Structure 1
């Protein structure tokens, strides 16, 4: 099946196709009124006594301006993890279907596959952390519904080459979910620019990283209107709360603050690479398009534990495939980064 022949109707679970979505009070009345007595809310105003907009119109309108994507091509969730879970529940039949991911990668794909009782197939990345496209395509069968690709990848940090993703999109008969949590730190364009070209493409992003909004839990999903309508059908009615929507809108409007912090993180990323390269026990620094470095070292467990003793926490990735003796280091503030480098020098 070529991408142009892709039909999302063939992927929707039968029970999802047949179900009627929940209709909330704010679905039935979307205009402005003087008195609201329809949703059994507490009537005393305190800024949060009313249910939130179930479709986050103001946030989506601002995102549409920033990303040049129509609002009807997006759905927002309580973190990207909710979006990913909705994708599983909409398109994968428990105990029947399977999905493919490419370890080492984000661990929630495996967790959500287990939670939804979906078989998970692994196509391990190459030694330079690129896709083994032939292996991915060879594992696809009649029950393969989704291929999950993380780009820039976590924990490796690299962007997946465009030609490899294009081959997966065009030669598979599956939904392809590209997780772009770290795309703001990359020089490559987002795959959201190709949504019209690939009807089987779903792109997930977040405000947790570059926007510094991890605490509000807001995930972004961009896809065809048909895919978005399916996900909207099964999402909880008020899945993004009032405080999250309000805070997100403030952050999205603070363009100067976003750009300033992003630039500083990118500068610190390069400074940290230079400092890490001078340490004798650092054997390799992998290329990064994210806000972290993956490094191969001598005796990663020992270094990790010694840093813990000094009150410095990084991520030990030794338990992941292809990541023997590796540590993942997030880019912090200039002061935090300097503390880390000084501690590593003493080691």
Structure 2
């Protein structure tokens, strides 16, 4: 499966309803900041604001950026990735892998020369080409490691690189964004996803922060009305629930510890990576097949993410999203039923 979260195909194969699937493959917060009832009064007759004024105001309040910076919204972080790389048209792309597969996909579409640097090798300071475009995900996916960025940013800046930092999972911890560095370097772009932290995968909103000049250039080819009135109204309400931030961080840390314990006690894995996001990567013992584990979990209607399509990983690597206590208990029971 190329991406987590395809519960529809999984349910069709099992002959059940999608809502009967326990989806550990998709790293979305199981809690939401607001209820859908907040959309009852949204008017659908007029066109939505093509400048997204109220939404952008809410985002800027939640995610402050330095003077001279601006932002643009997109129909999800994936759309932001594609729009940015199409706009930049990089010749040389440096990917710190493993990482989200959309980056390699669009690199292929654009005909970029790609340099992969293996994060797991520990050689993060490997030389990169002058003037190349660097992509780094922090916290990383699929392992959820949180990196200290200052030395890396200085190294890339010294090579006059265009720098793209994907912070789609940063909200799950208390670490500061690198967006404050935009004031010092006008070739720095920060990508954010709102659907993951706010538990609303069906509300497709992501955004990019960069210098005002860079955002102006990026917007030249962007269509009006990328987002619906419903998307914007929901997200404005979600961003206004500031209590949700600390609550989610505390809850995620607690559930992540429970998930780690469940994976450890199963005896199936020889390594569980110490992630700081809302998912954990684990490696099956003796190079065993994650697809076989998926088959063994199917009677419980549990869907997991086999990570063999991440650069540098194989079918023994599987990722589990952080879920609530009841879901983790069900996963533990299913592990015990595996012979």
Structure 2 match to 1:16: none
Judged with a 3 Å threshold, the aligned counterparts in structure 2 of structure 1 residues 46 and 215 are, in CA distance, closer, same or farther, namely closer
Displacement of 1:246: 0.8
**1:229 corresponds to 2:223:** no
Residues 105-144 of structure 1: pairs in structure 2 closer than 5 A: 105-127=99-121, 130=122, 132-135=124-127, 137=128, 140=129, 144=132
Structure number with the bigger relative contact order (C-alpha 8 A, sep ≥ 6) is 2
After superposition, give the CA deviation of every residue in 1:124-160 in whole Å (9 maximum; x if it has no partner). 2233xx553224x1xx156x3x211111111121123
CA distance in 1, matches of 2:174, 2:60: 21
Structure 2 match to 1:345: 336
**1:199 corresponds to 2:186:** yes
CA distance in 1, matches of 2:205, 2:168: 11
CA distance in 1, matches of 2:268, 2:236: 44
Judged with a 3 Å threshold, the aligned counterparts in structure 2 of structure 1 residues 321 and 109 are, in CA distance, closer, same or farther, namely closer
Q: Is the 8 A contact 2:77 2:191 kept in 1?
A: yes
Judged with a 3 Å threshold, the aligned counterparts in structure 2 of structure 1 residues 168 and 109 are, in CA distance, closer, same or farther, namely farther
SS at match of 2:293: helix
Provide structure 2 residue ranges, at least 5 long, that are not aligned to the other structure. 1-40
CA distance in 1, matches of 2:77, 2:170: 14
Q: Is the 8 A contact 2:130 2:160 kept in 1?
A: no
SS at match of 2:334: helix
Structure 2 match to 1:305: 295
After superposition, give the CA deviation of every residue in 1:288-307 in whole Å (9 maximum; x if it has no partner). 11100001112133222211
CA distance in 2, matches of 1:341, 1:81: 32
Displacement of 1:242: 1.3
Runs (4 or more) in structure 1 with deviation over 6 Å come to none
Q: Which has the larger radius of gyration?
A: 1
Judged with a 3 Å threshold, the aligned counterparts in structure 2 of structure 1 residues 46 and 313 are, in CA distance, closer, same or farther, namely closer
Query: Out of 292, 315, 327, which is 2:305 matched to?
Result: 315
SS at match of 1:214: coil
Structure 2 match to 1:171: 158
Structure 2 match to 1:211: 198
Q: TM-score if structure 1 supplies the norm length?
A: 0.78
Q: Is the 8 A contact 1:78 1:240 kept in 2?
A: yes
Displacement of 1:330: 0.2
Residues 47-126 of structure 1: pairs in structure 2 closer than 5 A: 47-69=43-65, 73-92=70-89, 97-126=91-120
| Alignment RMSD (CA, Å) | 2.2
Judged with a 3 Å threshold, the aligned counterparts in structure 2 of structure 1 residues 103 and 46 are, in CA distance, closer, same or farther, namely closer
CA distance in 2, matches of 1:178, 1:205: 9
Residues 144-155 of structure 1: pairs in structure 2 closer than 5 A: 144=132, 146-155=133-142
Displacement of 1:323: 2.4
Q: TM-score if structure 2 supplies the norm length?
A: 0.80
CA distance in 2, matches of 1:164, 1:329: 30
Judged with a 3 Å threshold, the aligned counterparts in structure 2 of structure 1 residues 66 and 321 are, in CA distance, closer, same or farther, namely closer
